[in-house]
Amino acid sequence: MMLSLADLLNQNDKTIQVQVPYDKSEYSAFGLTYRVTSADPVSLVIHHEKNGKMTIDGKACMRFEIPCDRCLTPVPVEVPLEFEREIDLRKTPEQRAADLDEQPYVIGTDLDVDLLAEDELISNLPMKVLCREDCKGLCRVCGCNRNTTACSCDDHSSEDLRMSVIREIFEKSKEV
């Protein structure tokens, strides 16, 4: 959702507080798409200091269904967000790039709140999601979920092609 900052920029030392709903049903990052099950509104406190310099303090909490990294079962994950950003609208895009201060969520005098929240989500999503700590994952042979189904596959004997080069080195060198 786009939030106009034009009125805020007309006065120095002015603060506004807003709640902006996050209405997207999916979030995509790193080539993966996650279903958004619910999201609290993004609470923002925006303070315009002077001459286009602003600070943005934000909070939100989003809930997703993320597949387990071992068995692909959907897992409910809650991601709380809390962030602070400084924006200087006087800087040119070249100056922002030189300062490594990319702000794709600021377009003219508008703030794209969804993009700001998603920019923060990237660094707050969990690296690994498991349905449970002792998840057995999927069978490498038949693909069944080993947490719910017992299969009779002998996946210990199936060769992992990624290890074939190392296996050849061990076979050629008896000393190792």
pLDDT at position 51, please? 80
pLDDT at position 86, please? 86
Nearest to residue 146, comparing CAs of 70, 65, 67? 70
pLDDT at position 105, please? 79
Q: Which amino acid is at 17?
A: Q
pLDDT in tens, 16-66: 999 999 989 999 988 889 999 999 999 999 999 888 788 999 999 999 999
Q: How far apart are CA 69 and CA 76, in angstroms?
A: 13
pLDDT at position 103, please? 66
pTM reported for the whole predicted model:
0.74
- Residues of the chain with confidence (pLDDT) below 50: 176
Cα dist from 116 to 31, 35, 121, whole Å: 19, 18, 9
